[in-house]
Amino acid sequence: MYSICITCGTQFAASDAPPSACPICEDSRQYVPPSGQAWTTLDQLQRSHRNSFRRLEPGLMGVGTTPEFAIGQRALFVQSPGGNVLWDCISLIDQATIDLLNGLGGVSAIAISHPHYYTTMVEWSRAFANAPVYLHAADRQWVQRADPAIELWDGPSRTVGAGLTLIRCGGHFAGGTVLHWAGGAGGRGALFTGDILQVTMDRRYVSFMRSYPNMWPLSRAVVESIARAIAPYEFDRIYGAWWDRHIEADAQAAVARSVDRYVAGLEHDDPERPV
């Protein structure tokens, strides 16, 4: 069987019994709940959950699971003339999801921001004719179910479709990646950030953490390096990892003021004091 960690949603390689532990949850960026490690399978998940779909703008659809499962992120499905791309991943894939996405042209490639969202990436790939799964090579150690469809890329960026570019930012994970969609936001550009740059609850800022659940911040140097990595790309909108966690307009300015505020919070007793 292929066990799935209930806390992070990661699917593991085939085994007769569930693994003794989930390395992703035992890492200091994640957690094992007080109740202990628990497991499910895709078959069980298909019986208890379903996926929902929401059109976010022309050519872009969100795909999320209800009731919420594991970390609770939703995936993004972007339609592209050169082939559609699924950004980030969720644990639940079922026939209804496959039929709906095939009706929109299928999935030609899958790209994932960081290991917390690897989930059932191999199942997704196989459902769509072994679509390549692009992961940054710096995070190879976190792959729990190896497969020939997984393509480890290296370097600062990689094109995965027409106007679709993966950008390595690091930070949350060494290979932490965002996706730039040049055609998004009516041609003004959109950035899909997962939680490499996490959209805050007020949707006016982003923030940066090595661990969100354990509230472990990043350094000034790392945050500024993330800002430098995305600086060459034009974008007016940011799509975060959860439903409605988006910055709808003027997102580049939001990132700039977010970096300034973050640095002020690190270096001053009063983060409202001018830098």
Whether residue 269 is predicted with pLDDT greater than 90 in this model: the reply is: no
What is the percentage of the chain residues whose pLDDT exceeds 70?
A: 97
Q: What is the mean pLDDT of residues 236-265?
A: 96
Q: What is the pLDDT of residues 4-16, one digit of tens each?
A: 999 999 999 999 9
Average pLDDT, the chain: 96
Whether residue 31 is predicted with pLDDT greater than 70 in this model: the reply is: yes
Closest CA to 252 of 241, 263, 240, 236: 236
CATH of residue 102:
3.60.15.10
Q: What is the pLDDT of residues 196-229, one digit of tens each?
A: 999 999 999 999 999 999 999 999 999 999 999 9
Q: What is the pLDDT of residues 184-196, one digit of tens each?
A: 999 999 999 999 9
The answer as to whether 274 is a domain residue is no
Domain range for 188 is 3-267
The answer as to whether 177 is a domain residue is yes
The answer as to whether 275 is a domain residue is no
Q: What is the pLDDT of residues 154-171, one digit of tens each?
A: 999 999 999 999 999 999
Q: Tell me if 155 sits within 8 A of 175, measured CB to CB.
A: no
What is the domain count for the chain? 1
The answer as to whether 73 is a domain residue is yes
Closest CA to 260 of 225, 210, 232, 220: 220
The answer as to whether 272 is a domain residue is no
The answer as to whether 250 is a domain residue is yes
> Which pLDDT score is estimated for 267?
84
Q: Tell me if 217 sits within 8 A of 209, measured CB to CB.
A: yes
Whether residue 275 is predicted with pLDDT greater than 60 in this model: the reply is: no
Task: Spell out the residues 6+ positions from residue 120 whose beta carbon is closer than 8 angstroms to its own.
Answer: 4, 9, 11, 42, 89, 90, 91, 92, 93
The answer as to whether 168 is a domain residue is yes
The answer as to whether 163 is a domain residue is yes
In one-letter notation, the amino acid at residue 54 is R
